[in-house]
Every structure is written in structure tokens, then in C-alpha cells.
Structure 1
Amino acid sequence: MKKVLQYVSLAFFSMLWVIGCHPILSREALELGLTEDSYRYGDLYRLSNLPQFKERTEACPKKFVNTPSKNNIALYIIGDSFTEKQRIDQRDFNVKSYLRTHWNDSLEVQLNPEQRNILILETVERHFREHFAVPVRTLKISQASVKSPLANEAPQPKSWDAILHESEEALASFVFSSDFFLKIKEWKAALNLAWFGRHNDQVAISPDGKNILFCWDTDSTRITSSFNAFPDTELNKLIKGVNATKDYYLSLGFDEVYLAIIPNKTSIVAPEMGNYNHLVERVQNHPALRTPIIDVWGLFNQHSTEVYALSDTHWSCYGQGIWLQKVNEVVK
């Protein structure tokens, strides 16, 4: 009987391991309700498990669901997580066609010269310095046959350490994402904060205790931080990189190229936590910038308590709506 239990346990936990580590099987398990999305309460809550920053993320309404566009506009976005498909898709824009790719992916497309082709370079503030430190060539324009807009080039092979890390994280998310386990994690996180003043080292809490933030934005030693020194010499070089990117894509057939910098959550809700480098303002107001911008800085500051999600690094539906309205004004 003991051996039977051992074999049953081995088979059960082996099955959990396989399902949890396999992306397709884990996705199927999620759709069947066998597990829950570990990001359903936001990425910062997922890291910290602090109950005061627990808020379920909701899908934002789509403005152009039943109103297919009659214009002849093709919108392209090179973007980061703010414009990933789970948040934004073609139903958010008044355009005839839409294609978005990530900064780290390489994609080949063919432009239709009979359309008005618009490219938006969307970057969160924390990654602006990295994105424009080298020439941007993410979108490649084919002069021959059209490749499928969803067929990115083959990804670079990952290291064994990276594979193990991702598998371990995926397994933990698969097994311990239920509300039962989250409640236990919340008790532990709350006790650590109340008794020892400690929390997950990937997050920071604003001085007033009302906002949870990503450490990449608050740690002044990181180039991604709102408080990392940003000299004029580097700024001038990056402005040249932005302008060169615009000129490059205009030469390939795009009719318009825009820059859209999404402010770090920290820059809007807690700039007093350090010596803010004012990256967004300095870039957008630079006299040498020849690239038109999609500017949300002023409106985000006016509505600082509403534009970001409580438990996430990303914007709320209100903040997302501000940006989408600005984009749709451009393509109108």
C-alpha cells in the first residue's frame, strides 16, 4: 500500500510539473479553470502580496468594436508592455489595419503605398534610454512579397539557466495562484511589513503609503530609474537617435512617425522619492527634437491619482483612455 501511494504521489506531482512548466498545457489548464491567472491582481501585487494593494485587473472597454473604420490608415506600433495585445488591439483605434510588435522582436512587413502608414514608437520612460541608445531597426520593410504580420523571426535560443528560471516561475504560478494560497502569502507579507518594515525587494512603497511602485523606477543606481542621473550629453545623443529613427522609417515609406513616452508610475505619483531627472519633459521639450510626440505628461500629472492601477506598474483604464484618445486624434 505504501508503494502504491508513493507511485500515485510521484505520478501526481510529475503531472503538475509537466503541466505547470509547459506553456500550452498550462494555458489549457487556465482556460479550463484548473488554475488561475497569477497576474489577475496586478504585477506589483503578484510580487509583494500586500493586501492593501490588491485590486483585480479588468479589461478596458473597446471604442471601435462595432464601428469598422472607413478610412485608409494603417497603424504600426513598436511598443513595450503598455501596448501588448492583452491591453490594446485594433478595436482601440479608428484605423483600417493595425500591427504592433515588441522592441525586442524583429518583424518584416510590406507597406501599402495607397494607405496612410503611421508608425508610433511607444516606450515607457524607464526604457527610453535603452531603446534609443542604438539604431532602431525592429520593423523591417520588405519590397517583395508580404510576410505574415504575425510571423516574427525565430527567437534567439535561451540559455539553460533562463529556461530553468522560467520553468520554476511558471510552476510556482500554476500551483500557488489560487486565492487560498494568496491569502496565506498576504498574511506573511503583512506581518513582515508591520513587524519588520520589510517587503519584497522588487517593489517600493511611496512615502505616504498609498502607492506601490516598481524598484526599477525608484532605485537611483539603475538606468531605468526616474532618479538616475541623466546628463545633457546623453540626452543630446538620444535625441539624435530618435530623429535618426524617424528619418529612417520615413525613408522606407512611412508617412508619419511619432514618439510616445509613457511616464513611469513613480514619476507621476511619487516624484518626491528622489531627485527626479525629468526625462520625459526634457526629451519632449528638447529644441533639437524633430520627431512629433504623443504627449500625455501634462494630463497624467493633472490626474495623478487616477491614471495608474493600484496594484500594477501599468496604467488604469482611465490612463489608457487618455493615451488612446491622443493617438486617435493623430490618426483622425
Structure 2
Amino acid sequence: MDFFKRLFRIVLCSTAALVLIVGLSHKLQRRLESWGWISGQARYGDLYGFSCLRKFKEHELGQTDALEDSDKPVRRHGNVDLYIIGDSFTTMDTSFYAGDRNYHVWLEVNTDTVAPDPEKISVLVIEIIERNIQLRLKEDYQKVFFEQGFQVGVRKKLPEKLTQKSPSFWFCNLTEQTDRRMEYMLFNFRPILLIKELKAQLVLSLFGRTHPGAIISKNHEHLFYEAEASPKHNLSSFSVIPDSSIDTVVANMNAIRAHYRGLGFDDVYFCMIPNKVTVCEPERFQYNNQIARIERHPELQVPLLSIRNVISGHPEYFHKGDGHWNARGKRVWLKAVNRLVETLDKEM
């Protein structure tokens, strides 16, 4: 009997240690997910992961998110090199772009050193989601776009406070994300998911509430990030944005364009993608019209790649259980970018 008790303690302690180690390492968790050893956090959609509402569970998330070879451009334009700075809405491979050479860096994550070709048109397109405009284009815009993004010439050493953002393979700070990773590992299996789904539906039916992080539309047909749909959140589509904040954003966009043109880029375009709630339920509260106010600002000098009117009123361009757009939404973005490349090539 003592042997089985010791064995039980060893197994229990070993399991707890493994869960803690994986919880402390985002990279290790991703690797184990890719091997199929543990469940992915967003395998059915990140908003489903927040809410556990079965209606929004996407069993074919990967298929509806993936582009096909037929989406690649038939012709590449040899006179244009395309550079993209984008967030999680620009996850497609650069082979889907129509430039001669195509580069991509993640907004506020990666840095790349490049050398714009003076014999070609070097165009930079900066994509940013609506909820991050006030976050990325205000006080920290120089850090986000000057110290990171694209560098020309010898790569400069990033400040220590920036390099510390990437955790080591094994450890990171104890944060809410750590708790969430361990929660997914422990409670993201089929029997437990069923219980969580029943509880989520019961809470929604009785109290009209969803789990923090996700908000359901008034007609119960769409899920949104709480940060973009709640008027209490300062990054929401429904938060009050004074004209002075729009003025600051526009001034900083002009400064970003001037910075990259000074590095040898021929021009810089901005593409501001509306939040999912802006597309699916703009009447939820009083919409602040942030993107439109920026686009028609009299001091704006930056050329725009505007797609808000194209995707407005088209919820089918977004995943039902995720806050990002699906392959149909990606094709709208690719069409606009590749059309710009084609136009610039003809003008050369």
C-alpha cells in the first residue's frame, strides 16, 4: 500500500511540474501543440475559447482560414518591391503578394533589415486593426515603427526593454497568460469542454452574460472581443475619442511616412481594418467613427489603402468563433494590396 501511495505522489508531483513548466513557456506550449500532445488554445477559435458557447465552436477553423494556391497572383510586378508591417490579420505567406520581392514583419514584434532598391518602387503598407489605433499610433509610435519594423542598413541593437519582451524558451513572467495556458492544458479536453459549454449556455440563458473576454451580439449571432465591443474599454469601437486624439494619430501617421521615406522607401500606405463588431454590429452603441475621422482629416498626408466600405456589413468575412477574418476576408486584403502593386507598376 505504501508503494502505491508513493507512486501516486510521484505521478501527481511530476504531472504538476510538467504543467507548470509548459505554463511558463509559451514556445514550449506551441511546440507541444504542433506535435498534438496537448490541445491548442484557439483550436476552435479564440472567442469560443473565451466563451465556451457551442454555437460558435469552429471545427474546421483551419480550413476556413487557409488560402489556396489559386489565391496567389498570376503575375508578379518586377518594378515594385512590397514591404508589409502588419498584425495578426496579415498571417499569409508573402508568396501571395504581387511584388517582385515581398517582405513582412509583425507589428511591434519583429524587426527586419532591408535595402530598398533605387531602381524599383519600394512601397510600404502598414496594416493595423481598429482597436489598436489609439494604442499603437499615440505615445509609443516611435518605438513601434522607428525602433522596430523595417531598418535600413546595419541592424541596430534594440533597447534592453524591448529585447526583454521575448521570453526564453523555458521561462517567462507569471502573468494572466500563464494562468490561461495552464487552464487550457488542464481543462480543455472533450468531457470537461462539454461541462463548460453547458455552464456557459446556462449563464447566457439565465443572466445574458458571457465569460469575460468575449461579448455576444444582441441577436446572439456573433461573438466579439470585450475590448472592442464594450464602451467601458478605451480601445472599443464605442469609446469616446476626442478630436485631439485623432489629431495626434494623424500627426504621427505623417511622421511615420516621413521617417520611412527618409530611409529610401518611395511611399507609405496605411490600411486600417475595422473591428469585427464594427462590421457586424456597428449600431450596438454609438459608434465613434474613428477610421472615417482619420481618413477625412484635413491634415492627413498619408495615402490610404481603405477597405472599410468593402467589408462593412459583411460578417461572413470573419470567423464566427474567432476575432479575426477568415480566408474570404484575407482575399479582400490581398486584392487591395495587389491592385496597388499593379497600379504602381503601371505608373513607373
Do both proteins adopt the same fold according to a TM-score greater than 0.5, normalized to the shorter chain? yes
**Whole-Å separation in 2 of the counterparts to 1:242 and 1:76:** 17
Distance in 2, matches of 1:14 and 1:75, equals 46
Deviations 1:17-66 (A, max 9, x none): 33454445433432332222220111111100011111231232144669
Give the 3-state SS of the residue equivalent to 1:287 in structure 2: coil
Q: Give 2:16's aligned residue.
A: 13
Equivalent residues, number: 322
Question: Partner residue of 1:319?
Answer: 329
SS at match of 2:127: strand
Considering only aligned residues, what root-mean-square deviation do their CA atoms show, in Å?
2.6
Match runs of 1:1-332 below 5 Å: 1=3, 2-56=5-59, 57-58=61-62, 59-62=65-68, 63=70, 69=76, 71-83=78-90, 87-105=91-109, 107-113=111-117, 114-134=119-139, 135=142, 136-137=145-146, 138-143=148-153, 145=154, 154-156=163-165, 162-301=173-312, 303-332=313-342
In the TM superposition, what is the alpha-carbon distance from 1:155 to its structure 2 partner? 3.4
Distance in 2 between the 1:170 and 1:50 partners? 19
Secondary structure of 1:82's aligned partner: coil
Change (3 A) 1:25 1:146: closer
Native 8 Å contact 2:72 2:97 kept in 1: no
When residues 245 and 19 of structure 1 are mapped into structure 2, their CA distance, relative to the original with a 3 A threshold, is closer
Higher relative contact order (CA 8 A, sep 6+): 2
Kept after mapping to 2: 8 A contact 1:68/1:96: no
Q: Distance in 1 between matches of 2:114 and 2:27?
A: 31
Matched position secondary structure for 2:78: coil
2:108–2:149: 8 Å Cα contact kept in structure 1?
no
Q: Is the 8 A contact 1:111 1:117 kept in 2?
A: no
Which amino acid in the other structure matches residue 7 of structure 1?
I
| C-alpha distance in structure 2 between counterparts of 1:239 and 1:70, whole Å | 31
- C-alpha deviation, 1:328, in angstroms: 0.7
Call closer, same or farther: CA 1:24–1:277 in 2, change over 3 Å. Answer: closer
Whole-angstrom distance in 2 between the partners of 1:54 and 1:230? 34
CA offsets 1:100-144 (integer angstroms, 9 cap, x no match): 22332362513232343221111101111222213441335333x
Displacement of 1:6 after TM fit?
1.9
Amino acid at match of 1:236: D
Deviation digits for residues 68-113 of structure 1, max 9, x if unmatched?
8462433222222212xxx322122112333322332362513232
Question: Which whole-Å CA distance do the structure 2 matches of 1:94 and 1:66 have between them?
Answer: 6
Cα distance, 1:289 vs structure 2: 1.7
Runs (4+) off by over 6 Å: none
2:81 is paired with a residue whose SS is strand
- Name the SS of the counterpart of 1:306 in structure 2: helix
Q: Are residues 40 and 165 of structure 1, via their aligned partners in 2, closer, same or farther at CA, if it must alter by over 3 Å?
A: same
What is the SS of the residue equivalent to 2:321? coil
For structure 2, the residue ranges without an aligned partner over 5 or more in a row are 157-161, 343-348
- CA distance in structure 2 between the partners assigned to 1:183 and 1:275 by the alignment: 36
Alpha carbons of 1:80 and 1:25: their partners in 2 closer, same or farther (altered >3 Å)?
closer
Identity of aligned residues (%): 26
Secondary structure of 1:112's counterpart equals: coil
Q: Is the 8 A contact 1:109 1:141 kept in 2?
A: yes
Deviation at 1:223, TM superposition (A): 2.2
State the 1:243 CA deviation: 1.4
**CA 1:233–1:196 in structure 2 vs 1: closer, same or farther (change >3 Å)?**
closer
State how far apart, in whole Å, the 1-side matches of 2:214 and 2:22 are. 29
Q: Distance in 2 between matches of 1:247 and 1:184?
A: 55
Tell me, yes or no, if the aligned pair for 2:24 and 2:173 is still in contact at 8 Å.
Answer: no
Q: What 5-or-longer segments of structure 1 have no aligned partner?
A: 148-152
User: What TM-score comes out, normalization by structure 2 length?
Assistant: 0.83
